Amino acid sequence: MDSHSDPPGGTLYHPRDIISLMKRPLLTGLLVALVFISTSCATSASSQNSSPSSSSYIENKGSDTIVNLALAWAEKYQAEHPEVRISVTGGGSGTGIAALINGTVDIANASRQIKQEEITEAQSKGINPVEHVIARDAIAVIVNPENPVSQLTLQQISDIYSGKLKNWKEVGGDDRPIVRLSRETNSGTHVYFLETVLRLGKKDDKTLFSMDTLLLPSSEGIVAEVRQNPNAIGYDGLGYVPKDLKMIAIAQQAGEAYVLPSVETVNDKTYPIARDLYMYTNGDPTGIVKQYLDWILSPEAQQIVADLGFVPIK
């Protein structure tokens, strides 16, 4: 028989060939396993790198009044601490506080103090809100530059927004209807203006905004509407008021001095519509959140407060 021909039952292999063939599946399996393990490790490492750990990531949400300031702080801090990532979003003080209550943010921004019912709800969920004053602000009452009215008392502003005064001629202006602009109800600025101006700080007062008040979702929205409507009156944080709009000088009562909002008049407490701005954390802050809040109170961060038209606390 030819040694190179196949036997009747099929191919005839040398014992060495049989051993070699037996090894190939094992080697192939080992190679596949090694590739799988290497890919899994790479995927895991990539996943870890793309998802910041809780120790280097800060979720910050809330007040639209504070959002530009918070963004400026976050940008500066991250430039100096590249290992830290800070996410900043607005939505209103109520949105930020609700997120704190639900445990979905590290820091909630608010342009008003947290309410007792919010504290109670938070505590029922195991959340302990702790307050941090991070800046101060004046709320400016603004009108179109064409409006001849330059000064109002708090009572007059209350009467305008409650609907008792309907025409600019009633406060020394032209014979024009008053168009009232306000932030939406989830805004801390809306709540503060309601309690401090419409209700003149009286706890038992139930005065409400006139039903025809236009509720706008942002500070920028109020600025845009006042800019294009000579009949409009609005209010905004001092840091949001552009130079082409007119700020009203305000007197606490008739016969008292009319004062324009500024850093100086907030600090000397002569401007009557001024407030603290807040950040809230769940319990006393620790770790990277504490370091960030400590930095916010530093001279460097408080200079950013002044640069953006707010009032530094130090």
pLDDT over 90, % of the chain? 81
Q: What is the pTM of this model?
A: 0.77
Rounded average pLDDT over 134-154: 97
Strand partners, 110: 278
- d(CA 272, CA 249) in angstroms, rounded, equals 10
Residue for token pair 């530094």: 312
Q: Which residues contact 289 (CB under 8 A, 6 or more apart)?
A: 58, 106, 107, 281
For 259-312, what is each residue's pLDDT tens digit? Answer: 999 999 999 999 999 999 999 999 999 999 999 999 999 999 999 999 999 999
Which region, left, alpha or beta, applies to residue 107 given φ > 0 means left and ψ of -120 to 50 means alpha? beta
- d(CA 40, CA 47) in angstroms, rounded, equals 10
Give the other-Cβ count within 10 Å of 44's Cβ: 10
Question: Taking 70 as the threshold, does the pLDDT of residue 144 lie above it?
Answer: yes
The reported pLDDT for the residue numbered 55 is 57
Percentage helix, strand, coil for the chain under 3-state DSSP, each rounded to 5: 40, 20, 35
For 223-235, what is each residue's pLDDT tens digit? Answer: 999 999 999 999 9
- d(CA 118, CA 101) in angstroms, rounded, equals 8
Say which residue, 5 or 99, is predicted with more confidence: 99
- d(CA 178, CA 60) in angstroms, rounded, equals 37
Rounded average pLDDT over 166-187: 97
Residue for token pair 């060495």: 16
Question: Taking 90 as the threshold, does the pLDDT of residue 110 lie above it?
Answer: yes
- d(CA 40, CA 52) in angstroms, rounded, equals 19
Q: Which residues contact 176 (CB under 8 A, 6 or more apart)?
A: 167, 168, 169, 230, 231
The reported pLDDT for the residue numbered 10 is 42
Q: What is the mean pLDDT of the chain?
A: 86
Confidence of residue 245 (pLDDT cuts 50, 70, 90): very high
Rounded average pLDDT over 66-95: 97
Contact 311, 267 (CB under 8 A): yes
For 10-61, what is each residue's pLDDT tens digit? Answer: 444 444 443 344 444 433 343 334 333 333 333 333 333 333 444 599 999 9
Confidence of residue 314 (pLDDT cuts 50, 70, 90): confident
Q: Domains in the chain, ordered, with CATH?
A: 57-136+276-307 (3.40.190.10), 137-274 (3.40.190.10)
User: What are 287's two structure tokens?
Assistant: 């770790």
Residue for token pair 């519509």: 273
Element (H, E) at 281: strand 274-282
